[in-house]
Amino acid sequence: MSEPPTPAPAASGKLRAYHWLAALPVVGMLGGVPFANRVQPYLFGLPFLMAWILIWVVLTSAAMAVVYRLDRRRERREGGAR
């Protein structure tokens, strides 16, 4: 039989300041809809509300990538100190 995989180091469970970046898409997408709820102007050939949501979908990916990279950097730094 093969060896079981080694478990990953336990997460500290501590909420870091940069984790709040994950809340920005929620605020932008849901909180901004009442302010962006109009058809004019057209952006990228889409009504403004649809373009607003599309932009936040792209920004969500960017925010999650930043949080992921910062988490990985912190894990490498803490892993190397042990």
pLDDT of residue 36: 84
Is position 60 within any domain?
A: yes
Is position 11 within any domain?
A: no
Is residue 3 scored above 70 in pLDDT?
no
Is position 4 within any domain?
A: no
pLDDT digits (tens, 9 = 90+) for 29-60: 888 888 888 888 888 888 888 888 899 999 99
Which range among 13-17, 65-69, 72-76 shows the weakest confidence by mean pLDDT? 13-17
Is position 7 within any domain?
A: no
pLDDT of residue 58: 93
Is position 10 within any domain?
A: no
Q: How many CB atoms lie within 10 A of CB 24?
A: 15
**Contact criterion met (CB below 8 Å) for 51 and 44:** yes
Is position 44 within any domain?
A: yes
Number of domains composing the chain: 1
Residue 76 sits in which domain range? 17-81
Which residues are CB-contacts of 28 (< 8 A; sequence separation ≥ 6)?
Answer: 56, 59
Between 9 and 44, residue with greater pLDDT: 44
Is position 12 within any domain?
A: no
- Pick left, alpha or beta for residue 7 (phi over 0 → left; psi -120 to 50 → alpha; otherwise beta): beta
Is position 3 within any domain?
A: no
Average pLDDT, the chain: 81
